[in-house]
Structure 1
Amino acid sequence: MSKTSNQKLKLLYLLKILMEKTDTDHTLTVPEMIFELDKYNIKAERKSIYDDIESLISFGIDILCRKSKTYDYYIASRTFELAELKLLADAVASSKFITEKKSRELIKKIGSLTSSHEAKQLVRQIYVAGRVKTMNEKIYYNVDVINHAIGSNKQISFKYFEYTIDKKKRYRNDGIKYIASPYALTWDDENYYMISYYEKYNGITHFRVDKMEDIEITDQNCHTEDMNIVEYTKKIFSMYGGEEETVNIQFDNSLLGVVIDRFGKETVTYKIDENSFMAILTVEVSPPFWGWIFQFGNKAKIISPEKVREEFVEYINEVKEGY
Structure 2
Amino acid sequence: MPKGSKQKFKLYRLAQIMQEQTDEDHFITMPQIMAALAEYDITADRKSVYADLRDLEVLGIEVEGEPVGNRYHYHVVDRPFELPELKLLVDAIQSSKFITEKKTNALIRKLEKLVSKYDAQKLQRQVFVSGRIKTMNESIYYTIDAIHNAISENKKIRFQYFQWNVKKEMELRHDGGWYHISPWGLLWENENYYLVGYDDKADKIKHYRVDKMLHIKTSEEVREGKEHFQKLDLAAYAKKSFGMFGGKEQTVKLLVSNHLSGVIIDRFGKDVMMIPADEEHFTVNVNVYVSRQFLGWVFSLGEGIQIIGSEEVVEQMKAEAKRMIKQYGCSEKELSRQ
TM-score normalised over the length of structure 1: 0.91
Change (3 A) 1:236 1:166: same
The separation in 2 between residues aligned to 1:127 and 1:234, in whole angstroms, is 26
> In 1, are the aligned partners of 2:94 and 2:126 still within 8 Å (CA)?
no
Aligned-pair RMSD on alpha carbons? 2.3
**Aligned equivalent of 1:234:** 239
| Aligned residue type for 1:121 | K
Letter aligned with residue 297 of structure 2 = W
Q: Report the counterpart of residue 194 of structure 1 in structure 2.
A: 195
Q: CA deviation at 1:105?
A: 0.8
The answer for the alignment partner of 2:263 in structure 1 is 258
What letter matches 2:42 in structure 1? Answer: I
CA distance in 2, matches of 1:266, 1:102: 38
- On the 8 A contact 1:112/1:119 being kept in 2, the answer is yes
Query: How has the CA–CA distance of structure 1 residues 296 and 110 changed in structure 2, closer, same or farther, with 3 Å as cutoff?
Result: same
2:31 matches 1:26:
no
Identity of aligned residues (%): 43
CA spacing shift, 1:303–1:115, aligned 2, 3 Å = same
Which ranges of structure 1 fall in alignment gaps of 5 or more residues? none
Partner of 1:50: 50
**C-alpha distance 77-246 of structure 1, shift in aligned 2 (>3 A):** same
Q: Deviations over 1:263-313 (max 9, x none)?
A: 222223333333333222110001221222223222222221121122123
Q: Deviations over 1:128-175 (max 9, x none)?
A: 9x9522121111121111111111111111111111111122111111
**Matched AA of 2:235:** V
Query: CA 1:82/1:125 → structure 2, altered by over 3 Å: closer, same or farther?
Result: farther
Aligned to 1:137: 138
In the TM superposition, residue 82 of structure 1 has moved relative to its aligned partner by 1.7
Is residue 188–residue 239 contact of structure 1 (8 Å, CA) maintained in 2?
A: yes
After TM superposition, the structure 1 = structure 2 runs for residues 32-181 of structure 1, keeping only pairs within 5 Å, are 32-57=32-57, 61-69=61-69, 70-125=71-126, 132-181=133-182
Determine which of 284, 300, 303 is the counterpart of 1:279: 284
CA distance in 2, matches of 1:65, 1:320: 76
Residues 81, 114 of structure 2: 8 Å contact kept: yes
The residue aligned with 2:325 is 320
| 8 Å contact from structure 1 (residues 3, 43) kept in 2 | no
Q: Tell me how far 1:49 sits from its aligned partner.
A: 2.4
2:334 alignment partner in structure 1: none
User: CA deviation digits over 1:202-244, x for unaligned, max 9?
Assistant: 2111111111111111111111223222221111111100110
Structure 2: runs of 5 or more not aligned: 329-338
For 2:247, give the aligned amino acid: G
* Post-superposition offset of 1:66: 4.3
- Paired residues, what number? 322
Residue 18 (structure 2) pairs with residue 10 (structure 1)? no
SS at match of 2:242: coil
Give, as a single letter, the amino acid of the residue that structure 2 aligns with 1:42. I
1:252 and 1:261 map into 2 onto residues whose CA distance is: 15
